[in-house]
Amino acid sequence: MDTSKQSAQGEQIAPELAEISLVLVETSHPGNIGSSARAAKTMGMRRLRLVAPKQFPHPDATALASGADDLLEQASRHDSLDEALADCGVAYACSARRRGIRLAELDPRQFASHALEQARKGPVAVVFGNERVGLSNEEIERCQFLVRIPSNPQFGSLNLAAAVQVLTFELRMAALDQVGRLKTEPDPRLPAPLAEMERMFEHLQQVLERIRFFGSRSPVRMMARLRRLLQRGLPDAHEVAILRGILSQIEYMLDHPGRDRKDDNAS
Amino acid sequence: MDTSKQSAQGEQIAPELAEISLVLVETSHPGNIGSSARAAKTMGMRRLRLVAPKQFPHPDATALASGADDLLEQASRHDSLDEALADCGVAYACSARRRGIRLAELDPRQFASHALEQARKGPVAVVFGNERVGLSNEEIERCQFLVRIPSNPQFGSLNLAAAVQVLTFELRMAALDQVGRLKTEPDPRLPAPLAEMERMFEHLQQVLERIRFFGSRSPVRMMARLRRLLQRGLPDAHEVAILRGILSQIEYMLDHPGRDRKDDNAS
């Protein structure tokens, strides 16, 4: 049941995400194309555009796609970034901040809601550069927005697939958010009625008195403490019944001394 | 100038993130340990705990860390998950939704703000399973929260480093978000170390066996249920000590039959 509901959810948000193409520019290692495809597919994206990949198709790409090879097969190939972006209304360049570039800069979260909105109007591109040198200033200037992943200033080097994973994850979160489905599966447990909780606490206090647990401690304060602990977990009716079962069993054993030792030859 | 500002910001948020350990359980491929270290370091995380890695140290780990080998060198190694979590107050299991597991479920964003708040109080763990089989139900039950990355229901298989990248990215975004913000009054209670929780659960099981509570019920399932109930409330060390005090007192009374009736003329 979970599965069918999830599937429906996946399909419902797919059309929006599917309008967004990931554009990989001059990728050196075919394995990185594969792992980027995998990352994209886990987040429900479908479109890859490859600009002058060094080696493609390639067994490493297929191997690292590990199941996302449909995205590789459907990927379009282009000789230039201009060609790859020709039909897109908006393009976002994923890059570290760069001197001399004055594009509007978005963080991944701002990017995601912005790009989703644009994707309702038509094709949108997110552009990732070569693994070693990134995007050139010229390439960045083909885009309208710069997306910067706010990484550790002392160690900012996400690999290509990791950057794809982060941005597509944000797109998916934004899409889920917009269909109002981001909410995690609601906790199906119903808290036990308070009257049952009260009977359980009364029972607990009786048993604690009977086993002389309170001693010199204040029963009122100790019960308040136990009450807070158990209430924080919002037990459901079944759980309250289990606790009462334990209390009853303690009483039974105290009423029938020695039963706990019946089969217990060790101690 | 930008760089210095970023550095200062990086340092400012570092202490909080550094309290959060990433726990990699029985990782098969050392390369995945390396790329997880790289992913973690790009987001300013520093602590890795490795539970029974199949091969480590290994040249593949170092190669794929590509500059994050300091995290590998400082990583601690553990024989069991219990050992790795012993000093942690809160542990989050990163896993797909699973039947029969009823931990409170968080999405990555909810997880990040929750974990950051807990990290102000002490060590916190985020637990990732083996690449192929993920975390077992038993391992998940050592944790108090399940974190599910809302991936494509038709293709949900993020690789290990990708999952690490997504969750550490969310932690970093949350940390950046909180810098300079007025924090809500934090809950002052410190969760008990998980090792104390485990000893309490062992003690509880012993007492329940002794009072013959399980009867025809499955002790494993019943304990899992009680574990969830008590974990949901995130008991602090004092509360755990109270529960153990109750258990000890039950044992004392069973060892000394009749004491419970000494002053009890009513029944």
What is the torsional sign of CA A7, A8, A9, A14?
positive
Each residue of B209-231: pLDDT tens digit?
999 999 999 999 999 999 988 98
Check whether B9 has a pLDDT greater than 70: no
Residues in CB range of B137: below 8 A, 6 or more apart: B98, B100, B101
Under CATH, what is the fold of the domain B194-257? Helicase, Ruva Protein; domain 3 (1.10.8)
pLDDT recorded at residue A186: 53
| Predicted pLDDT of residue A157 | 82
- Asked whether B58 and B30 are in contact (CB, 8 A), the reply is yes
Which residues of B fall within a CB distance of 8 Å from A222? Answer: 242
Tell whether the model's pLDDT for residue B185 goes beyond 70: no
Coil, strand, or helix at residue A103? coil
Residues of B in contact with A42 (CB under 8 A): 151-152, 155-158, 162
Q: What confidence score (pLDDT) does residue B262 get? A: 56
Q: Which fold does the domain A2-178 belong to in CATH?
A: Alpha/beta knot (3.40.1280)
Closest among B194, B71, B75, B140 to A154, alpha carbons compared: B71
| Residues of chain A scoring pLDDT < 70 | 1-14, 97-99, 180-189, 261-267
CA distances to A157, B47, B147, B189 from B17, in Å: 18, 9, 17, 20
Q: Which residue has the higher pLDDT, A265 or B61?
A: B61
Tokens of A142: 């083909």
pLDDT value at residue A265: 44
Contact B172 A161 (CB under 8 A): no
Model confidence pLDDT, tens digit, residues B117-158: 889 888 999 999 999 999 998 899 889 899 999 999 889 889
Q: What are the DSSP calls for A130-198, one per residue?
A: BTTTB--HHHHHTSSEEE-----TT-----HHHHHHHHHHHHHHHHHHHTT--S-----PPBPPHHHHH
- Which of B64, B114, B165 is the best residue to mutate to test the A interface, defined by the most A CB atoms within 10 Å of its own CB? B165
Tokens of B61: 């780990």
Residues contacting B211, CB < 8 A, separation 6+: A246, A249, A250, A252, A253, A260, B250, B254
Tell me what the pLDDT averaged over chain B comes to: 87
Q: Which residue of chain A is at minimal alpha-carbon distance from B46?
A: A152
Q: Distance between the two ends of chain A, CA-based, in angstroms?
A: 50
The C-alpha torsion from A135 through A136 and A141 to A146, rounded to 10°, is: 40
| pLDDT tens figures, B15-45 | 778 889 999 999 999 999 999 999 999 999 9
| H helix and E strand count, chain A | 11, 7
A151 touches chain B (CB under 8 A): yes
Contact A172 B151 (CB under 8 A): yes
- The residue ranges of every structural domain in chain B are 2-178, 194-257
How many Cβ atoms from other residues are within 10 Å of residue B113's Cβ? 17
| Model pLDDT, residue B6 | 38
> Which option is the CATH number for A194-261: 3.40.50.2300, 2.40.128.30, 1.10.287.70, 1.10.8.590?
1.10.8.590
Q: State whether residue A265 sits within 8 Å of chain B by CB.
A: no
Closest residue in A to B148 (Cα) is: A184
Q: Spell out the alpha helix ranges (H) of A43-159.
A: 59-65, 69-74, 81-85, 108-119, 137-141
What is the pLDDT, as a whole number, of residue B252? Answer: 95
Q: Is the pLDDT of residue B266 over 60?
A: no
The Cα of A141 is separated from the nearest Cα of chain B by a number of Å equal to: 20
- Pick from A107, A155, A225: CB nearest B42: A155
Q: Cβ of A254 and B249 within 8 Å? A: no
Looking at residue A235, its pLDDT comes to 86
Is the CB of residue A91 less than 8 Å from the CB of residue A150?
no
Tell me, what DSSP letter sits at residue B51? E
